[in-house]
Amino acid sequence: MDKKAIAKAAELIRNSKHTVVLTGAGISTPSGIPDFRSPDYGMWSKYDPFEVASLWGFKENPEAFYGWARSLMDKVRNARPNPAHISLAHLEKAGYIQTIITQNIDSLHEQAGSKHVLPLHGTIKTATCLDCGHRVQITEEFWEEVRKGGIPRCPKCGGLLKPDVVLFGEPLPYEILKEAQQEALLCDLMIVVGSSLMVMPAADLPALAKRRGSKLILINLQWTTMDSQADVLIHENAAKALPRIEKQVLDGRRK
């Protein structure tokens, strides 16, 4: 691992007044949750996303969505925060991180202890009826029905219940997106962790921050379109890189 890059990242974090983190699927793969776009093992190498993870696909064939979601959601529900999530929570508690914007639906940042988290792509904690708009908490009974091959229905009208995750063809939650964009404009340091930066509008947030003069730390196993603009570039597993950065940040504070 590049010791100079780790040291420079720690220095930028210590000197920042407003640090925002953007996380993608790569931060959660060490917790056992598969990513979507890796060419050899990503989920979209096995499934057509527009059949199983689009709004129109869900409406036409909810059985295909829930068949695909069954194994994924079991992995999500059984996952636990890894050292990358925990390091970000520690840095937030110490006052070095102000906001975490995440493209993930797994709630692992919150489980790790992070307080100010903006879930751009929704959550699996609730589901909404497509007919009457009634919202329900997703319980173990909900997923037990899915595991048995059933389709969860609205307790009020019998309509289809869709988990409150953003599917292809759906807009992002307006207020959360607005706040994320404001954070990108306010920050003087953005840290991107485990994101391919291929999905808009989340992918535009680092560019927005850079245009406003922010520094950029990029931690990702794969190449991204923002690599050339990063002030610190770390092509490493986030669960290994972030604890080392955290240690240097906190050790530097104590000196």
**Residues catalogued as catalytic:** 121
Residue 229 DSSP one-character state = G
- Residues 70-93 as b/e (b if ≥16 CB within 10 A, e otherwise) read eebbeebeebebbbbbbbbbbbbe
In whole angstroms, give the CA distance from residue 182 to residue 193. 19
In whole angstroms, give the CA distance from residue 129 to residue 22. 30
- φ/ψ of residue 99, rounded to 5: -150, 140
Spell out the long-range contacts of 228-231 with Cβ–Cβ below 8 A and sequence spacing 24 or more: 231/8, 231/12
Residue 173 DSSP one-character state = P
Cβ-based neighbours of 166, under 8 Å, separated by 6 or more: 120, 121, 122, 172, 173
Helix boundaries (H) for 113-255: 140-147, 174-186, 205-211, 238-254
Quick one: which H or E segment has residue 127?
strand 122-129
Q: Following CA atoms 238, 220, 43, 146 in sequence, which dihedral angle do they give, to the nearest 10 degrees?
A: 40
